[in-house]
Amino acid sequence: MSPVGRLFLAASDRGLVALEFDARFPGQQTVRPNPRDLRSERCPEKGSAVCFEQSESALRAYLEQLREYFAGERREFSFSLDLRGTDFQLACWRALLTIPYGETRSYGDIARAVGRPQGFRAVGMANHRNPLAIVVPCHRVIASDGTLCGYGGGLDVKRKLLQLEGARTGILAA
């Protein structure tokens, strides 16, 4: 359990693959075949691309850094990531990784950073599909007027994360 609710983590031998909020909105992307039935996540039939095995030791480093982040003791994550997406999504997620702790950017800022200045809606969709909440900090992306908008964990969680980081936005500063 974290200060923003239950989290689901998944890792491969290359790094963290997913950090998802347990509470999901209808239609929200997930790496889990059936987020409500953990039994179906355990090593499916041979030939399946995904096999989930519970392992506290495999996730220990990720969990420790997340604990430090939530305690206000960590500003950057140092573990490896195994990002999986389209070229555009990967470009957007890499741009998110450059947003410093405690700062925010607009969807337009990210669109310009990835060379698609008019693509702020596409950036929003890439953020919506971000498989690594908190770590790939899409919570640091706000509307151009400084207000909070769109977040897979809900706006209350987005607000909590930005407050934890000491970010200043129009809605937080008020």
Of 51, 92, 138, 149, the catalytic one is: 138
Q: How many other β-carbons are positioned within 10 Å of the β-carbon of residue 99? A: 20
d(Cα 33, Cα 67) in Å, to the nearest integer? Answer: 27
- CA atoms of 136 and 19, how far apart (whole Å): 9
Cα of 91 vs its chain's centroid, Å: 15
Burial profile 115-137: b = 16 or more Cβ within 10 angstroms, e = fewer? eeeebbebbbebbbbbbbbbbbb
* Residue 138 falls in the annotated catalytic set: yes
Catalytic residues: 138
